[in-house]
Amino acid sequence: MNHSIIGAGAMGRAVARRLALAGETVLLADRDHGAAWRVAAEVSDGAAGLVVPADVATALVADLIVLALPHRESLLLAAVEHRRLAGKVVVDVANPADGSGAGAGGPGGARTPMAAGMPAVMGAPMATVAPLATRTPTAVSAAELLAAAIPEASVVKAFNTTGASVLYAGELDGVLLDVFVASDDEDAKLAVIELVNRAGLRGFDMGRLANARGLEQLASLSDELQDRLGLNHCAGFKFLPCW
Ligand SMILES: NC(=O)c1ccc[n+]([C@@H]2O[C@H](COP(=O)([O-])OP(=O)(O)OC[C@H]3O[C@@H](n4cnc5c(N)ncnc54)[C@H](OP(=O)(O)O)[C@@H]3O)[C@@H](O)[C@H]2O)c1
């Protein structure tokens, strides 16, 4: 399975670095081609693997595509490219409540693809879904909205509860990072968990895609806590099971 990342910002850079250090070859695309080139060179430095800059169309050819984009941009891309995304594993890292992408129904948010006639989610027309761009519990997750826009793809929620800077470093105070992974497609979820583990992190199976609601709320809670503590996306969660 070959991989690509679309979005060469903080999260794209961090995921690309982890994969490069794990010896993977991965395509990295951004609408700013120069940014993709710069970040690809930076994250490949000293790594066993290789991050190759690409345009978005080329990145869409990969079997497993990480959308490291604001939620709104992921939805717009899905609306335009749903045919090319059919049959692909699409990893959604978005946290709509972080202000990076104005959530469903939020200002400039998912109303555009809704208006373009995207499918209803969970029996409710998408236009009636409550705004996600608030720090309140939501009826539906960004990941489910994305899955509704690309029904022939396998959407997997991952990486959203880990700050980009700690993800880039791969550890926090010497502690291995956990990445929570949710999807309705068991094979796709397993593929992402295996990739996460190869990347030197610990992947956890968080069950069905609807559990992305909890994961996005967890990230929202983390953001609020980070605001209080004056942190800057430098935090992650650790699950401590009694095996
Ligand atoms: N940062 C974190 O710590 C963190 C943690 C967990 C989850 N997340 C989630 O990760 C996602 C990305 O966050 P980020 O912090 O990495 O954002 P970011 O730094 O703004 O990076 C996003 C990148 O994607 C590019 N882009 C936007 N739309 C595009 C499109 N249609 N095609 C190609 N490239 C496009 C942006 O270009 P422009 O600059 O031109 O817009 C930018 O370079 C968000 O959904 C966020 O909620 C972030």
Q: In three state form, how does the secondary structure of 186-202 look?
A: HHHHHHHHHHHHHCCCE
Task: Tell me the H-state helices in the chain.
Answer: 10-21, 33-44, 56-59, 71-85, 111-115, 142-149, 164-169, 186-198, 212-229
67 CA: nearest ligand 1 atom: 11
| Distance from C-alpha of 55 to C-alpha of 40, rounded to nearest angstrom | 12
pTM across the whole model: 0.88
Q: What is the pLDDT along the chain (243 residues), one digit of tens a residue?
A: 899 999 999 999 999 999 999 999 999 999 999 999 999 999 999 999 999 999 999 999 999 999 999 999 999 999 999 999 999 999 999 999 765 543 433 333 333 333 333 333 333 333 333 344 444 456 899 999 999 999 999 999 999 999 999 999 999 999 999 999 999 999 999 999 999 999 999 999 999 999 999 999 999 999 999 899 988 778 889 999 898
- Decide: 49 and 26 in contact? Cβ < 8 Å: yes
Q: Which residues line ligand 1 (CB under 6 A)?
A: 6-12, 30-32, 35, 56, 68-71, 73, 77, 93-95, 98, 100-101, 160, 163-164, 233
Q: Which atom of ligand 1 is nearest to the CA of 219?
A: 6
Atom of ligand 1 nearest to the CA of 70: 45
Hey, how many other C-beta atoms are within 10 angstroms of the C-beta on 221? 14
Q: ∠ CA(96), CA(152), CA(144), 5° rounding?
A: 25
Pocket test for ligand 1, best of 5, 15, 28, 31 (most atoms within 8 A of CB): 31
Q: Which domains does the chain have, with CATH numbers?
A: 69-229 (3.40.50.720)
The strand pairing partners of 202, in sequence order, are 178
The ligand 1 atom nearest the CA atom of 7: 24
pLDDT at 243: 82
The Å distance, Cα 243 to ligand 1 centre, comes to: 36
The mean pLDDT value of the chain amounts to 86
For residue range 169-226, what is the model confidence (pLDDT) as tens digits?
999 999 999 999 999 999 999 999 999 999 999 999 999 999 999 999 999 999 999 8
